[in-house]
Amino acid sequence: PNKTIISQTDFNLAYNNFTATGPVLSITQDMINEALANITLSTMYTLPIWNTTVEAKTTTYINIYSLTSPLNLYLPYALCLALAIPFLLLGANSLRLNGVPAIDGGFVQILATTTGNRGLENAAAGGCLGGSENTPRELMDMKIRFGELVGQHGEVDKGGVKRAGFGTEGEVVSLRKRTVYGR
């Protein structure tokens, strides 16, 4: 009511109490000293009156490592690199042979590569509820491979859309380089 902001300062003990009916003011000597110190420092920082020049010495630290047994550092990295390089080469060769990269497509990737081949679909239909106890023996014993899906008698479709996917040995032939699949 008196148009001061004292109720919005630390002098008001009920400042953060949202259920209080009004301010509860408590002014002590220590609180006044702290407030005056804050005001003085703020004024000194804001007004360019109190400038001073001092010498400052800076030190730059550089980490230098001295290994008592460098083999303990290099050996694990070398082993990991030696184990990773064959898999990297295998992946690069697979990419070269397939012509397209695989993606983490989840359901859509599985759907796109498993539809369109009747033998596999008929065998898998018996296990539609999922779980190992519902998987038909016919599906478990079936030899499945990935390649170009062909007609029922093994003939390659000369026109139309060429599809790559999973199928039985009679439904799939090897993928061919520079052949467009799926369009």
> Do 76 and 41 have their domain in common?
no
Residues of the chain with pLDDT under 70: 1-2, 99-117, 130-131, 151-160, 183
Number of domains in the chain: 2
| Claim to verify: residue 76 and residue 165 sit in the same structural domain | yes
| 39 and 126 housed in the same domain | no
Contact 7, 26 (CB under 8 A): no
Same-domain pairing of 93 and 169: yes
Residue 114 sits in the same domain as residue 167 = yes
* pLDDT value of residue 90: 93
* Judgement on whether residues 75 and 111 belong to the same structural domain of the protein: yes
Asked, for residue 180, whether it belongs to a domain, the answer is no
d(CA 97, CA 117): 23
| Domain contains 56 | no
Tokens of 30: 């220590």
Structural domain span for residue 105: 71-173
Question: Is there a single domain that holds both residue 42 and residue 81?
Answer: no
Report the SS3 class of residue 102: coil
User: Does one domain contain both 14 and 99?
Assistant: no
Q: What is the reported pLDDT for 117?
A: 67
- Predicted local distance difference test score (pLDDT) of residue 7: 83
Q: What is the pLDDT of residue 47?
A: 83
Q: Are residues 86 and 25 in the same domain?
A: no
- Per-residue model confidence (pLDDT) at position 145: 84
**Token pair of 144, please?**
């499945």
Residues 88 and 25 in one domain: no
**Do 161 and 84 share a structural domain?**
yes
Q: Do residue 92 and residue 149 come from a single domain?
A: yes
User: In the prediction, which pLDDT does 29 show?
Assistant: 93
Q: pLDDT tens, 13-44?
A: 888 888 888 888 889 999 999 999 998 888 88
In a domain, 130, yes or no: yes
Model pLDDT, residue 10: 84
pLDDT for the residue numbered 182: 73
Q: Which amino acid is at 100?
A: V
pLDDT at 100: 67
Instruction: Mark 36-57 as b/e (b = at least 16 C-beta within 10 Å).
Output: eeeeeeeeeeeeeeeeeeeeee
Residue 20 is predicted with a pLDDT of 83
Residues 144, 123: contact at Cβ < 8 Å? no
pLDDT reported for residue 33: 94
